[in-house]
Structures are given as structure tokens and as C-alpha cells.
Amino acid sequence: MGMTTGGVPFSLTRLLIVAGNTFTEAVRQKLFNFLLLLAVALVASAQFFREFNFGSSELKFISDFGLGAMVFFGSTLTIAATAQLFFSEIENRTALTILAKPIWRTEFIFGKFLGVFAVLGVFCALTTLLLAGLLCSRENSLMALHPDAFPGGRIIHYGDLMAMGMLQWLKFGVLAAITLLIASFSNTNLYTVVMSFFMLVICHLQYLAHDTYAQVASLPLRLLVRLLGYVFPNFQVFNLADQVATGVGLDAGVVLRVAGYALAYIAVIGGLAVYSFRNREI
């Protein structure tokens, strides 16, 4: 499969058709509905769990709980849905039919990605709006009960909350691209899911290795860890949730940088998934 497929130029329309089909297939999946329901239920129940809060303020607890649910179920959905939607095409042999037609593997991979990304967008939008509604309702009640505690007006910056929802969506995009990269050379769905979860953990914890090995005396070991740090994206940069319900606003510059970081990684890892998939015998 070369840069042209039977002389057919690259087509955005074909890519969007693949994306549309992937989206429809994903929404029909029980897994998507189940995880969405679970996440929505957990976010909605945040206010009932607030009795368990000891350390932080009530609004911060609800915000942490809601965003935590979004991160947890969103990551699970990203990995499971991406792997499932990719391998359903391979296992049902529909990939052979599709790729026998004049369609680029780039269109196939990025179509799959866009379909999953759209599903994740729906997931993030729903959970973020629900969380914002919950926080707004509770903040209104608290402001009526304890006006002295809100001398500067509202504590929650709802624009920041939306920005957080968007950043999580972009992070799931990077994770979906990683899952597609693994799927592009993997033979089984299970291997892809397990490896993607490992990658998720590594990308979340790579900064700890960085910090720990920065003090190691051995120069080769320090260099090795530094190089490994370059290979894996740092998912902790998306963790701006701590500042959402503290009354301290998010820095727009930081949000833009993180968004740029995610988009650049999506492009690079997506490109690598295409490269790897083009070298694969189906």
C-alpha cells in the first residue's frame, strides 16, 4: 500500500465516512452505554458522598469526585472502545473488504481515530455539563446558607471546568492514538487492551521515575531514564483539576500549551499508527 491507493488521491470524505461508521458502531455498543451510565451515576452521586469528605471544602470534593469519575471511566472507555472497534474490523474480516477498495490505510486509521474521538467528546461533554450543573446547584445553596463564606462571589470558575473537560478529552485522544498504535501491530484485542493500560500507567507515572533517577549517581542510567522520559508522553500535565474548585483560576497560557501538547502527540502517534499499519499483513 503506497502513498496512493490505485491512483486514488487522499479523500477527507472517505475518512469521515469511516469516522461516522465508527461513531455509530461505538454508540451502539453496550460497553459505551454502560460506562457512560456508570460515569454519569458516579458524577451525580458525588453530592451524596460528600459526608466522607474530611480535608477539603465541599465544592472541591464534588469537583474532585466528578473529574475523577470522568478520568477513570473515560480512560477505560478509550482503551476498550478503541481496541474493540479496531479488532471488530479485523476479526470480522470487514477490514479486508474495506481495504480492498480504493481507500488509504491513513484514511482507515484516522477515520477510526476520529470516530472514537467523537464518542469520547460526547462522553466528556455529558459528564462535564452534569458536573457543572451539580456544582452550580450546590454552590447556589451554599451561597444562600453561608454568604460570608463567599466574599468574592463564586468560587468555581465554570469556564475552567469546561477547559478541564476539553483537556481530558484531548488526553483521551492521545490515549486512543496510543491504543491504535498498539493495535496496528498487535494480533489480539486482549494484548492491545493490556498493553494500553500499561502505557496509561507509565504515562501517568513517568515523572516519578524522572524525579527518582535525577538523583542517581550513575550517568548511563540517568541518561537512559531521561531518554525513556522522552519516549512516553507525560499525562500528569493534564492534571489541572486541583485548581478548579479552589477559587484560583486556570492560566489560559498553560491550558493552550497542554492542548497543543496533546494535539501534537495525537498527530505524531496517529502518524506512527498509520506507518505501522501499512507494514502489517492483514
Partner 1 sequence: MKFKLLELRPLRVGTVVVATLLVAGWAMRPLENPAWQAVRSGQPAMKLDSLQGALGQGVTVGLLGGFRAIVADFFWIKTNSVWSDNDLPATQTLIKLVTAIDPRPLYFWQNGARMIAYDMPNWRIVGAGGYDVVSKAAQQQIEREQSAVALSNLNEAFGYHPDSVLIYVEMANVYLNRLKDVASAAEIYHKAALQPDAPYYVARIYGELLRRQGRNAEAYAWLKQLYPTLPKEAKDSASGRQPTAKPQPSAAEIEMAMAPVVLERIREIEKELKISKNQRFMP
Q: Which residues bind partner 1 (CB under 8 A)?
A: 49, 52-56, 60-61, 64-65, 67-68, 70-72, 181, 185, 200-201, 204-205, 207-208, 211-212, 227, 229-237, 239-243, 248, 251, 253-254, 257-258, 260-261, 264-265, 268-269, 271-272, 275-276, 279
**Cβ-based nearer residue to partner 1, 61 or 86:** 61
217 and 223 Cβ atoms separated by less than 8 Å: no
Q: Can you name the residues that pair with 8 across neighbouring β-strands?
A: 5
Question: What is the rounded CA–CA span in Å between residue 20 and residue 155?
Answer: 40
CB of 88 to partner 1, least distance (A): 23
**Cβ-based nearer residue to partner 1, 22 or 206:** 206
Q: Is 258 left (phi over 0), alpha (psi -120 to 50) or beta?
A: alpha
**Cβ-based nearer residue to partner 1, 101 or 257:** 257
User: Which is it for the CA torsion 202, 208, 214, 216, positive or negative?
Assistant: negative
**Cβ-based nearer residue to partner 1, 67 or 119:** 67
**Cβ-based nearer residue to partner 1, 26 or 163:** 163
Q: What are phi and psi of 150, to 5 degrees?
A: -125, 60
**Cβ-based nearer residue to partner 1, 66 or 111:** 66
CB of 228 to partner 1, least distance (A): 9
Q: How many CB atoms lie within 10 A of CB 76?
A: 17
CB of 115 to partner 1, least distance (A): 23
What one-character-per-residue DSSP string does 19-81 give?
A: HHHHHHHHHHSHHHHHHHHHHHHHHHHGGGGGGG--SS-HHHHHHHHHHHHHHHHHHHHHHHH
CB of 240 to partner 1, least distance (A): 6
CB of 113 to partner 1, least distance (A): 16
CB of 193 to partner 1, least distance (A): 15
Q: CB-based contacts of 211: which residues, under 8 Å, 6+ apart?
A: none
